[in-house]
Structure 1
Amino acid sequence: MSQDLAALPLVLDACAFATRMHGKQQRKYTGEPYVLHCLEVARTVADVGGTPTMIVAALLHDVIEDTEATIEDVRAAFGEDIAQGVAWLTDASRPEDGNRAIRKAIDRAHLARAPAEMKTVKLADVISNTRSIVEHGDGFARVYLREISSLLEVLTEGDPALLRLAQAEVERGTAKWLT
């Protein structure tokens, strides 16, 4: 318990950083503040016993892709371990790498090499995104579900309960959007 309390300032700092960086961004389909997605991912990671590093990485998992923040900003604010975690969770592909299929293959290969802890964080992200896209989405759900089915194949070292839940969410989405 004291270790959990010792990490609280770090987690709160990460929450404030994510809130500041995501600013007025809104979640596609729902219009909710984007940072709520980050909080949901972090809560899911915490619920399966994630370490403080995992929880902070979950809070920050989209700041490099979706905001002006750089990996150097994350490193300066939170240290090398968290910066490495966020780097694993950030897409490795760039638009100039090719079409969407090529970029997703690059990102999948990147995550395949990630440590199990970051695969757990990614599973929490997949669960949150899949639920939102399946419930509120449009035709993009069909593309997304195929991509995520493939991604789950490289996330098997993540938390087993989250892997099962992610697979169930994809199956639910597939039943709705692909049949």
Structure 2
Amino acid sequence: MIKALEFATRMHKGQVRKYTGEEYITHPVAVADIVEIYLDKKGGYSEEEIGMAMDVAVLHDTVEDTEATMEDIEEKFGAEVAKGVWFLTKTPNYVGNRKFRKELCEARLREAPEIVQIIKTVDMFHNSWTIEEHDPKFWQTFKEETVSLLIAMDTLEVMGELEKMRENDEV
């Protein structure tokens, strides 16, 4: 993950999180950390699979939020990591309105490998912490969109497990 972390840190340099002002890289790092903890606890994943998942997690926002391209990701990290990042990259605004873009993302993520769906669930889980606290107006929309996507990916149970882990200070 060191190579992916160095790349993501360089690409996100100067970016800050919307609600907290923290360096943006703290979000993908937190997602990668939670993914590792969750996959270790769940069991059944090889070190190689967990390592790949952590690379995808730390890189998950690079294409949509920086100058990095899918080709950059594939060249530096291989096709499997690039495929994971592709599944997690939002549909661009020029494609249509928010509802249509969300529907396209949902259709794509429904077909994603299980480990990518877990990464997306962790991403939404981590984002929910700051959205709920800092943007109550958007919170309801975010919750509805999140539940819809969790149902589409069949990961409602994963979100429940993550919430229990947070309650128990495991993440």
TM-score category (smaller protein): 0.7 to 0.9
Select between 70-79 and 146-155 the one with higher mean Cα deviation: 146-155
Q: Distance in 1 between matches of 2:147 and 2:97?
A: 19
Alignment of 1:127 with 2:117, yes or no, is: no
Return the alpha-carbon distance in structure 2 between the equivalents of residues 138 and 18 of structure 1.
29
Please name the residue that 1:172 is paired with: none
Partner of 2:167: none
Identity %: 37
| 1:19 aligns to 2:13 (yes or no) | no
Checking the alignment, whether the CA contact within 8 Å between 1:38 and 1:58 is kept in structure 2 is: yes
TM-score (norm 2): 0.84
Q: Could you give the per-residue CA deviations for residues 38-71 of structure 1, whole angstroms, max 9, x where no partner exists?
A: 0000001100226111010000000010000000
Q: Find the aligned partners of 1:33 and 1:107 in 2 and give their Cα distance.
A: 26
Q: Which residue of 1 aligns with 2:159?
A: 163
Output the CA distance in 1 between the equivalents of 2:9 and 2:137. Answer: 30
Contact 1:156 1:163 in 2 (8 A): no
Instruction: Give 1:136 shift.
Output: 1.6
Structure 1: distance between partners of 2:25 and 2:80: 22
* Counterpart code for 1:12: I
Deviation (angstroms), 1:115? 0.5
Say whether 1:137 aligns with 2:135.
yes
How far did residue 97 of structure 1 move? Answer: 2.5
Paired residue type of 1:107: C
Q: Using the alignment, how far apart are the partners of 2:154 and 2:100 within structure 1? A: 22
Aligned residues: 155
CA contact 1:45–1:120 (8 Å) conserved in 2:
yes
Length-normalised TM-score, structure 1: 0.81
Q: Secondary structure of 1:154's partner?
A: helix
Cα RMSD for the two superposed structures:
1.8
Gaps of 5+ in 2: 41-48, 165-171
